[in-house]
Amino acid sequence: MKLAYTAVIPTKDRPERARAAVEGLMKQTRHPQRIVVVDASEPPFELTDDVRDAARDAGVELVVVQAPPSTAGQRNRGVERAETPIVLLLDDDVSLQPDYVDVLLGRWERAGIEAFGAIVGTPEVVPPQGRLARALRRMLMLHYQAPHGEATTFRRSRKLRLVARPRHDVAVPACGAGYGLFRTDLMRRHPFDERFPGYAPGEDLEMSSRLAADAPILQMPSVRYLHEWDPRERESPVRWHQRGRRETYFRLLHLDASPLSRAAFGLSLIAETAVAAAASLRERDRGHVVGFVRGALETLRERD
């Protein structure tokens, strides 16, 4: 049985990227039944007539809905509009190889709808990580790229040991939400946590880890996506505060109570403070380290 899917694209103030994301879906060898652009832009995002005509000619329903700026809320609103068993969550800065959806759905169809909770591909570009940086990040309980291994795993600190390109199809405990196919019923059972407005790092790992408890998440190295993010955007003082406040919150939700895990979590916060301080020195802006510490303390006080 062929599985139909709905594509959900959250966006804010990036009309060119949102339009490119829609056009990219029209180039997939298997089209979505519906594309839902969940827009938080000011002024509102509008699709051009040629894009709408192309969607109509392909038999794809194209919907643009407005929502407050929240990656979690926008994704949830899009899932609410899905009438298909599968949802593709696509960030507006992610592009997919032309047969990406076709290959993933084909794997799902062969196994049966109940076999998986989600299926994701593999990044086309993996940011390099030197041996010394990897060793330090491993020692300090931060995210690090494992040069060998079967699959990505959570560390005691709830950071990740990342195997970006596994050798074969593997089950992973969580995944990013900007390039994956998810079962619609499980997305509704495990919606994104809408506690924070705007961008909330860690919300996708938190949601997908809950979903993975109900059905496996499969990563397939044979298909690729490209995430065209700007590294300087992620290093901004605002992002450091978001990381301290929001990612800390999401990690704490699933941190086990053992002394080793608590120690690993504490060490990771100290290490991230040092990384933020280095960014402040490099950029001559104390906002990086002040923002991270302030955000982490807000979450820690809230949890006390």
pTM as predicted:
0.94
- In the chain, ranges of CATH 3.90.550.10 domains: 5-126+164-229
The predicted model gives 254-261 an average pLDDT of: 96
**Predicted pLDDT of residue 149:** 81
Query: Does residue 63 register a pLDDT over 70?
Result: yes
Instruction: Give the C-alpha separation, 20 to 172, whole Å.
Output: 29
**Predicted pLDDT of residue 230:** 59
Average pLDDT, the chain: 95
Query: Does residue 51 register a pLDDT over 80?
Result: yes
Instruction: Give the C-alpha separation, 163 to 179, whole Å.
Output: 17
Instruction: Give the C-alpha separation, 115 to 217, whole Å.
Output: 9
**Predicted pLDDT of residue 234:** 55
The predicted model gives 65-94 an average pLDDT of: 97
As a whole-number percent, the residues of the chain with pLDDT over 70 amount to 97
The predicted model gives 282-303 an average pLDDT of: 94
35, 22 Cβ separation under 8 angstroms? yes
Q: How far apart are the first and last CA of the chain?
A: 50
**Predicted pLDDT of residue 235:** 60
Question: What pLDDT band is residue 147 in, cutting at 50, 70 and 90?
Answer: confident
Return the CATH number of 5-126+164-229, one of 3.40.50.720, 3.40.50.410, 3.30.360.10, 3.90.550.10.
Answer: 3.90.550.10
146: tokens are: 């494992």
